[in-house]
Structure 1
Amino acid sequence: MRKILNIAHVYMIVGLVSGLYYREMTKLTGFTGDTQLGVVHTHLLALGMLFFLVVLALEKLFALTSVRLFGWFFWVYNAGLTVTVLMMTLHGTLTVLGKPSGEAIAIVSGLGHVLLTVGLILLFVTLGKRIPARSASAGEPATAGTPQHAAR
């Protein structure tokens, strides 16, 4: 659980620093247009800090780290978010400096989004392994409502 809290904390710090970078970079250059730098900090705070705080709560409830896939989710998702945010920062910085960003940045950013998607799939598979498909409520058998139970 400490690893999840620590990564949420790291994303909080980097998110706040990226907001400062955006403000100072645009102020220093006199840039007033749209740039991806303006949303880097929100991506880090929402997809990083807040997301991992939710994962921390899910870990507390369902012991997600007991599933082997959790490690895969953790590293793939973090790699995806890191690549995505780095490409956004690079593209935004080049925009502020008035330089073209090129096709390579878009391709690598797309790879980051693919990794994020794979990470989310791994999280849902992990959750599925820890949450029973059907739970018994108040003494009701787990098979209630199934066709086999109705036929008896």
Structure 2
Amino acid sequence: MTRSLYTALTYLILGLASGLFYREFTKHTDALLSHTPLNTLHTHLLTLGMIVFLVVLALDAVLGLTGRRSFTVFWWTYNIGLVVTVAMQAVRGILTLGGHDPATTSAAIPGTAGLGHMLLTVGLVSLFVALRAAVRERGGASHQVPAIPAR
């Protein structure tokens, strides 16, 4: 559980720092663009990072997810996927504010961002595998709807 708490705290710090970076970077570059990938970076870090791991912390406290292999797979793949995704979001935002079109600059940017999204997906599936196992251990399987008898 401590790992989830510190992960949430790390994403809080990164989210707040990225908001500050966006504000100062746009001041420094005199950017007039109203929407770039950079101005939602802090929201992504706070929501997909901090809030997700606070919810995971609560679920871990109730269901005891820590120590499960699928939970470890979730933690690593989700974190790597989120870092890759927001790093590419930051690169796209900085390029956009610099007057470049990231789509024509390099095909590696959207490809790497796609890889980050795939890792996020693997992480979320692993989380649900851990949740399912924990709920079954807690007796959640005994609360299933009974089958309708055949006539």
Is TM-score (shorter-chain normalized) higher than 0.5? yes
User: What residue identity is the alignment partner of 2:59?
Assistant: L
Q: Provide the C-alpha distance between the structure 2 equivalents of 1:135 and 1:20, rounded to a whole number of angstroms.
A: 50
Aligned twin of 1:4: 4
Shift of 1:3: 0.6
Which structure 1 segments of 5+ residues have no match? 137-141
- Hey, what's the Cα distance between the residues in 2 that align with 1:104 and 1:2? 35
Counterpart mapping for 1:62-81 below 5 A: 62-81=63-82
Equivalent pairs counted in the alignment come to 143
Question: Radius of gyration: which is bigger?
Answer: 1
Name the residue aligned to 1:24.
Answer: 24
1:125 pairs with 2:129: yes
Secondary structure of the structure 2 residue equivalent to 1:71: helix
% same residue: 48
Distance in 2, Cα, partners of 1:146 & 1:50: 38
CA deviation map 1:132-152 (0-9, x unaligned): 25335xxxxx7x7235xx68x
Residue equivalent to 2:108: 104
* Distance of 1:81 and 1:66 partners within structure 2: 22
Q: Which moved more, 1:125-134 or 1:77-86?
A: 125-134
Letter in 1 for 2:41: V
Indicate which of 135, 144, 148 corresponds to 2:142: 135
SS in 2 for 1:65: coil
Q: Which ranges in structure 2 are unaligned for 5 or more consecutive residues?
A: none
Aligned partners of 1:67, 1:84: CA distance in 2, in Å? Answer: 25
What is the distance in 2 between the residues matched to 1:14 and 1:39?
13
Q: Provide the TM-score with structure 1 as the length reference.
A: 0.88
Counterpart amino acid of residue 110 in structure 1:
G
Amino acid at match of 2:141: R
Contact 1:4–1:55, Cα closer than 8 Å, also in 2: yes
TM-superposed CA distance for 1:67, in Å, is: 1.7
Q: CA RMSD in A?
A: 1.6
Q: Which residue of 2 aligns with 1:139?
A: none
